[in-house]
Structure 1
Amino acid sequence: MPQQTILIIEDDTDILMIESTYLQSAGFQTIVRENGDHILAFMEENPCDLVLLDLMLPGMDGYAICEQIRKKYDIPVLMVTARNESLDKIRGFNFGADDYIAKPFDPMELTARVKANLRQYQRLKQTSKSSEPQAEIRIGDIRILPDSWRVFKKDTEIHLTNREFELLTFMAKNPNIVFSKEQLMEKIWKYEYVGDTSTVMVHINRIREKIEEDPKKPKILETIWGAGYRLNN
């Protein structure tokens, strides 16, 4: 496999050095930016496999940069920030972030998160290119097309992030089964998650906003209090 490239967008020189050093030691190539100015043009000239994005940057903040990246690229975006409030995480996921790690962080954990996100992305790409066609999945008026990575509600296409798509597809392939947050973290994120499991809740809520008639009273993705979540079909 060719060497994978990580784009690091970080204005703190010390943190940038730590991130770059550990990722290079893990076998990655790194390219760096101190801000998000003209980020799409930069990425066009400097292709990368994952973006490691600081939230607090001069000028355009990480949320706006992530939103710009999502207009053109579906590669993993991992937010790195000193802000660890749930609302900040929710905002990050809403703008298209795939994962979130708070400063101060263990460089080994950061490296593990990067590897996990890349593995998941490659797995999804390989699945979409599989020569064996996958059957369309229907849940009421929702259609999931695993081969083309597309989801429709009636005749309208719904745009999901990589994580949202894999989470919805996994649950749609396993309907009427209750999965705990921890089980979903293991199945979808593919590693032992350090910290709370609010990530799952955020992604479930985001999917509900896109597929449910009334996201506040979900009928498809149901919360089973004290147990987890179930997709009803």
Structure 2
Amino acid sequence: MSTILIVEDEPAIATAIAQRLTAEGWRTEVARDGLAAVDAAARLQPDAVVLDVMLPGIDGLEVCRRIQADRPVPVLMLTARDDETDMLVGLGVGADDYMTKPFSMRELVARLKALLRRVDRAAQASVSPAEESKITVGDVVVDRQQRRVYRGVEEIHLTPTEFDLLVMLASAPKTVLTRERLLAEVWDWVDASGTRTVDSHIKALRRKLGADLIRTVHGVGYAFEPPEEDAP
């Protein structure tokens, strides 16, 4: 049984989320402010966190930073503002997904299930002897066994979702992967309602790795294409 920490200062929303997640068979606990959330995360060691951005005390972005610094955990952020800048900031501090209020409880549950499935898959995954544990494309090295990424000599710190997305792209360099395929393979979503999520994670990857690695194919998807080295 998974444990979900709900961080929400609006009692009606917190109660509704807790009741729905409990009905799904998950253990839940609610924290009403940022500092209580950090303490609860350290104590509970939750499997996932539903985190509102606007909180008393410290805001959700700082809560996410502190939680991720202590222990990587999937975070689904909630916000009242439908602003892509907010989304990118949230992804930049370690959130894995993002939903705007008002939201569907059904979609919230679906996204949490997808997050938990990815964590389970990553924990159980092993690189077979026939596979190379490292993907090297240009000056980017992706170590699938240790889940580390380097560009040149610099290690790049990615969220679990960003790492899985990069592995998908780097495993097929110069191949255009559609948003729908990325959603299905990385997020475990069976519909195309989350294409904006893909776009936002691509932007977050570009901010961390450099804007020259991932090519946008408008109306289709993305391709991993590091710049060609200059000929001697």
What's the TM-score, normalizing by structure 1? 0.89
Gaps of 5+ in 1: none
What is the CA distance between 1:205 and its match in structure 2? 2.0
Give the counterpart letter for 1:159 in structure 2. H
Residue deviations 1:52-97, cap 9 Å, x none? 0011111211111111112122110001222222222122112211
What is the CA distance between 1:6 and its match in structure 2? 0.2
What is the CA distance between 1:110 and its match in structure 2? 1.0
**Structure 1 residue 132 corresponds to structure 2 residue 125:** no
Which position in structure 2 is the counterpart of 1:163?
161
Alignment of 1:78-89 (within 5 A): 78-89=76-87
Q: Distance in 1 between matches of 2:48 and 2:191?
A: 19
Q: Distance in 2 between matches of 1:131 and 1:63?
A: 34
What is the CA distance between 1:131 and its match in structure 2? 6.5
Q: Structure 1 residues 109 and 180, CA, compared in 2 at 3 Å: closer, same or farther?
A: same
Conservation of the 8 A alpha-carbon contact between 1:77 and 1:98: yes
* Residue number among 93, 96, 107 corresponding to 2:94 in the alignment: 96
Helix, strand or coil for the counterpart of 2:124?
Answer: helix
Conservation of the 8 A alpha-carbon contact between 1:151 and 1:157: yes
Q: Distance in 2 between matches of 1:225 and 1:195?
A: 17
Residue deviations 1:32-63, cap 9 Å, x none? 11011164443222221000001111121111
Residue deviations 1:107-129, cap 9 Å, x none? 121111111111011111211xx
**Structure 1 residue 222 corresponds to structure 2 residue 215:** yes
Give the counterpart letter for 1:189 in structure 2. W
Which position in structure 1 is the counterpart of 2:52?
54
What is the CA distance between 1:203 and its match in structure 2? 1.5
Alignment of 1:18-57 (within 5 A): 18-37=16-35, 39-57=37-55
Q: Structure 1 residues 183 and 4, CA, compared in 2 at 3 Å: closer, same or farther?
A: same
Is 81-90 or 142-151 further displaced after alignment?
81-90
Q: Distance in 2 between matches of 1:102 and 1:112?
A: 15
Helix, strand or coil for the counterpart of 1:71?
Answer: helix
Conservation of the 8 A alpha-carbon contact between 1:86 and 1:198: no
Q: Structure 1 residues 14 and 40, CA, compared in 2 at 3 Å: closer, same or farther?
A: closer
What is the CA distance between 1:166 and its match in structure 2? 0.4
Q: Distance in 2 between matches of 1:45 and 1:67?
A: 17
Which position in structure 2 is the counterpart of 1:112?
110
Q: What's the RMSD between the two structures over aligned residues?
A: 1.8
Helix, strand or coil for the counterpart of 2:6?
Answer: strand
* Residue number among 203, 218, 223 corresponding to 2:201 in the alignment: 203
Which position in structure 2 is the counterpart of 1:73?
71
Percent of aligned pairs with the same amino acid: 38
Conservation of the 8 A alpha-carbon contact between 2:127 and 2:144: no
Helix, strand or coil for the counterpart of 2:35?
Answer: coil
Give the counterpart letter for 1:162 in structure 2. P
Q: Distance in 2 between matches of 1:211 and 1:85?
A: 23
Number of residue equivalences: 224
Q: Distance in 2 between matches of 1:181 and 1:187?
A: 10
What's the TM-score, normalizing by structure 2? 0.89
Q: Structure 1 residues 28 and 182, CA, compared in 2 at 3 Å: closer, same or farther?
A: same
Which position in structure 1 is the counterpart of 2:12?
14
Q: Distance in 1 between matches of 2:180 and 2:39?
A: 39
Q: Distance in 1 between matches of 2:220 and 2:81?
A: 29
